């Protein structure tokens, strides 16, 4: 239980750091949190709610991974193009209009990539982090501290139907 609370707090702290730092996001949990199994206590409804929240966390973690990979790939592409542009800048023949126009096209393409990163990729990534953290917080609020019987968990899991994750 203490491990999950530490992970949940690290997620909340990471969200604050993500929103403060433009290109940073939290590292998701290695695996979705699981309720502690022990003596009977939680109702089948509570068990199903926790299991559905676990599924939602896993779904959002997968989405977060996709968004992070997209952001990081674009950041690498921008860095590579910026480096190539910096290397090419002193080599541009200022007496050739074609060379100048080509270099300007490269600068425009780099600017377009940076704008896409700032206006689309980063906000998508931050939204995925926020969504993930929201589900972890919901799980923590509703499921931490519950004592869940493993037999009840297996009975519920066998017929579990969760509403589509939103």
Question: What's the Cα-to-Cα distance from 126 to each of 7, 45, 86, 92, 144, rounded to whole Å?
Answer: 19, 32, 30, 38, 26
Question: What's the Cα-to-Cα distance from 160 to each of 10, 21, 45, 47, 157, rounded to whole Å?
Answer: 30, 39, 10, 10, 5
Helices 122-143 and 2-20 cross at an angle (nearest 10°) of 150
What is the 8-class DSSP label of residue 90? G
pLDDT at 151: 86
CA distance 152 to 45: 10
Structure tokens, 14 = 């990471």
> pLDDT of the chain along its 166 residues, tens only?
444 434 443 443 344 344 334 444 444 445 555 544 444 478 888 999 999 999 999 999 999 999 999 999 999 999 999 999 999 999 999 999 999 999 999 999 999 999 999 999 999 999 999 999 999 999 999 998 888 888 888 989 999 999 887 5
Surface-to-core class of residue 11, CB atoms within 10 Å of its CB (0-12 exposed, 13-18 middle, 19+ buried): buried
């Amino acid at each position: 239980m203490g491990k999950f609370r530490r992970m949940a707090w690290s997620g909340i702290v990471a969200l604050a750091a993500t929103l403060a730092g433009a290109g940073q996001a939290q590292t998701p949990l290695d695996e979705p949190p699981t309720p502690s199994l022990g003596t009977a206590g939680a109702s089948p409804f509570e068990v199903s709610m926790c299991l559905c929240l676990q599924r939602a966390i896993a779904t959002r973690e997968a989405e977060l991974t996709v968004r992070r990979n997209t952001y990081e790939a674009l950041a690498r592409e921008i860095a590579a193009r910026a480096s190539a542009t910096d290397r090419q800048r002193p080599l541009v023949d200022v007496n050739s209009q074609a060379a100048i126009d080509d270099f300007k096209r490269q600068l425009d393409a780099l600017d377009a990539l940076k704008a896409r990163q700032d206006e689309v990729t980063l906000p998508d990534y931050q939204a995925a982090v926020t969504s993930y953290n929201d589900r972890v917080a919901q799980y923590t609020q509703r499921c931490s501290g519950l004592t869940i019987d493993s037999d009840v968990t297996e009975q519920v899991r066998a017929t579990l139907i969760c509403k589509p994750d939103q």
